[in-house]
Copies of this chain bind each other. A is one copy, B any other.
Amino acid sequence: MKTYRFPAKKTWPELVKRPVFERKEISGLITEIFEAVEKDGDNALINFNKKFDKAITPHIAVSEAEINNSENEISDDLKRAIRQAKENILKFHASQITKTEKIETAKEVICWRENRAIEKVGIYIPGGTAPLFSTVLMLAVPANLAGCKEIILCTPPDRNGNINPAILFTAKLCGITKIFKTGGAQAIAAMTLGTTSIPKVYKIFGPGNQFVVAAKEYAQRYGVAIDMPAGPSEVLVIADRQAIPDFCAADLLSQAEHGSDSQVVFITTDLKIFTETIEAVEKQLGNLPRNEMARQALDHSIFILIDSIEEALEFSNLYAPEHLILALEDFEKFIPMIDNAGSVFLGNYSCESAGDYASGTNHTLPTNAYARNYSGVSLDSFVKKITFQHLSKEGLENIGKTIEIMAEAEGLIAHKNAVSIRLK
């Protein structure tokens, strides 16, 4: 880990830079995969399962029996936990439903917006080291709430050709029954192009490795939208002297265990907290099963001792963290100073993992400084807002002259005529 004591502001732009990881040149491979899926559809997916996931999957679609059986394969405790998390996520996302408000911008000129669900959405859930059923909740709950007519889910099979039962259980709980055994770039290609089994969708959500990320980028050429650009996960913790080093260390480590490229930043105004948090990180690290990954992430983490909380927030806004924890006594007064962050956790008991799983907020958030220009996933991510307007003849009379003058000044005479012909 790297420590900085009172770094000069002119060094900050260097400090907030994310390490650039070498990105393998994989665009050729992505193109090949898309071409194979376009040409051979389901058969291509079956072959890729064999090749990349070492799995024999005669059928790409998960059967009803497999889905129903998942309930028997996970503990009651886990089912209860998933249900409670779902309830909280539903409650928070339901609060994001907006009411249509009609505005009379000029007399008898009525304008408003209405939400319409994106009809077809695809959710990608990675396989690999952790079965991310929590991400199923984070994407399927708002998709369902928004009213998306077709919600499909793709996830790679294990070596026995099966899907993790917690993923199947969670999907079913959220009303998703179109689940497909396919992962990586080929899953993204299938949702983009469609196959016999897999319907093509209008928007693709979900995390993934570099192949998935590259495939989502590539998919946009076909008119598909994606949730947001991707990058490694990150947390920035700001602590004052009332913070509890053991808590701060636990939060930093919960970020570090995500992967060796995870970003971890700790800023405090208090020397004692600074020293003790570093010690606590070292101490807690030893007991983690994923400690090798966390150790690598910590190698490029930064710990900063700074003069004031105001300065810490200035640094944080420049960094634009995905997760921001304010382990501060009077956190409320600092909220208005936050400009750039994905999700903010306030006080000593709001740990990041609360938001990762069960408090109700979404955990699909902007990384890699995208918190400057992107929001996290919310109900809005699954709808379009369509504007409507109604002008009576009188309404058009009220703004007609304005339209005619402006259209003429822009040299668009047919635009002017559309008014003139109605008012003459």
Contact = CB atoms under 8 A, between A and B. Distances in A.
A351 B397 CA distance: 12
A415 B254 contact: yes
A357 B403 contact: yes
Contacts of A399: 84-85, 88, 354, 358-359
A159 interface: no
Interface in A322-353: 331, 335, 338-353
Contacts of A294: 414
Given A92-B103, A257-B412, A407 B353 contact: yes
Contacts of A246: 421
A412 B401 CA distance: 64
A91 B109 CA distance: 12
A335 B388 contact: yes
Nearest to A342: B386
B223 A396 contact: no
Contacts of A85: 399, 402, 406
A289 interface: yes
A342 B118 CA distance: 13
A92 B114 contact: no
Interface in A188-226: 202-203, 220, 223-225
Sorting the interface of chain A by its residue count into under 10, 10 to 19, 20 to 34 or 35 or more gives 35 or more
A82 B85 CA distance: 51
Interface string A109-147: 101011010110000000001111110000000000000
A417 interface: yes
A418 B247 contact: yes
A218 to B, nearest CB: 13
Contacts of A412: 130, 254, 257-258, 290, 353
Interface in A383-416: 383-393, 395-396, 399, 401-403, 405-407, 409-416
A213 to B, nearest CB: 13
A391 B352 CA distance: 11
Contact of A416 (B95, B345, B353): B353
A157 interface: no
B254 A284 contact: no
Interface of A: 74, 77-78, 80-82, 84-85, 88, 91-92, 95-96, 98, 101, 103, 105-106, 109, 111, 113-114, 116, 118-119, 129-134, 166, 202-203, 220, 223-225, 229, 246-247, 250-251, 253-254, 256-258, 284, 288-290, 294, 331, 335, 338-362, 366, 368-376, 378, 380, 383-393, 395-396, 399, 401-403, 405-407, 409-419, 421-422
